Amino acid sequence: MQQFFAILVKYSAFFLFALLELLCFYLIIQYNQNQRDIFLNSSNLFTGTLARKYNDVVTVLRLPKVLDSIQLENARLKASLKENLYVQNDSATRVQDSVYLQQYAFIPARVVSNSITLHNNILTLDKGSTSGVEQDMGVIMTNGVVGVVDQVGKYYATVISLLNSKSNTSVALKRNGYFGNLVWNDSDPLHMSLEAIPKHVRVERGDTLITTGYSAIYPSGIVVGTVESATLEPGNNFYTITVLLNNDLANVQYVMIVKNLLKEDRQETEKEGSHDQ
């Protein structure tokens, strides 16, 4: 307490000067209209700027929750799209009796780790078995394919990226339906190769490539990329095709994990069919 009073005495002249300055400032504003208007405008500008900065900070802090809610809504809406429903007809001739069964559900996830420069690139997602994630589920984003779930933990899962030597995705030329395999040849993250397109097929630069749906991993019709170049070497029966991917896997942050609700039924049916051969 003595130190406090000692400080007051030591700096009494400064404190008195500051007090008189504040008093003068108050009197000037109180009895001069022009100065009062200037002060009010300046204070409003300051408080407005401060409030805006505060709101910006709060918005940034809340952004992950907002994005999560948007992802959940996107997943719900995507699952309800007609192309993600299975059509069950009671009659081969009565289309109006069709029953639409939900074939795909989508689990939103955030990418917490990603590699693009390795021979076998992988991603890590912040969803695991507690969220319903299973091995061999497809992973997509709003504008393309990302990869296939590999290892699944309780709260996280790893994904074999499209940019991986183990990746082999069935895609088709949208214009004519001919399909082949999309593979990674250690090129840059925006380019892959399309194999097994025979030479009699007409292939043009700019042709759109979509998922075939032949596997139980991805829904059909997802745009994967476009043909950037197609060459036919002498004596070769298949094209050498370079594909420009539709999505940039170097900048993927949010994805949707594809759950095929009819996968087990399909696999059992195909298994029984293979036994009959």
The two tokens of residue 44 are 């409003």
Residues 165 and 116 in one domain: yes
Does residue 74 belong to any structural domain of this protein? no
What is the pLDDT, as a whole number, of residue 142? 84
Residue 69 within a domain: no
pLDDT exceeds 60 at position 168: yes
Q: Residues 120, 255: one domain?
A: yes
- Tell the burial category of 200 from Cβ atoms under 10 Å away from its Cβ (0-12, 13-18, 19+): exposed
- 203 and 255 belong to one structural domain: yes
Mean pLDDT of all residues in 197-226: 94
Task: Find the domain containing 103 and state its range.
Answer: 85-263
Helix (H/G/I), strand (E/B), else coil: 81: coil
**Alpha-carbon distance 225 to 210, whole Å?**
7
pLDDT (average), residues 49-76: 58
Mean pLDDT within 249-270: 89
**CATH at residue 194:** 2.40.10.340
pLDDT band with cut points at 50, 70 and 90 for residue 275: low
Could you tell me if 90 and 52 lie in one domain?
A: no
Specify the pLDDT at position 112.
Answer: 93
What percentage of the chain reaches a pLDDT higher than 70?
69
Start-to-end CA span in the chain (Å): 98
Better-scored residue on pLDDT, 146 or 81: 146
84-128 pLDDT, tens digit per residue, is: 555 454 433 333 444 567 888 999 999 999 999 999 999 999 999
Are 53 and 97 contained in the same domain? no
216 and 149 in one domain? yes
Q: How many domains does the chain have?
A: 2
Task: Looking at the structure, tell me whether residues 14 and 90 fall in a common domain.
Answer: no
Domain contains 268: no
164 in the same domain as 115: yes
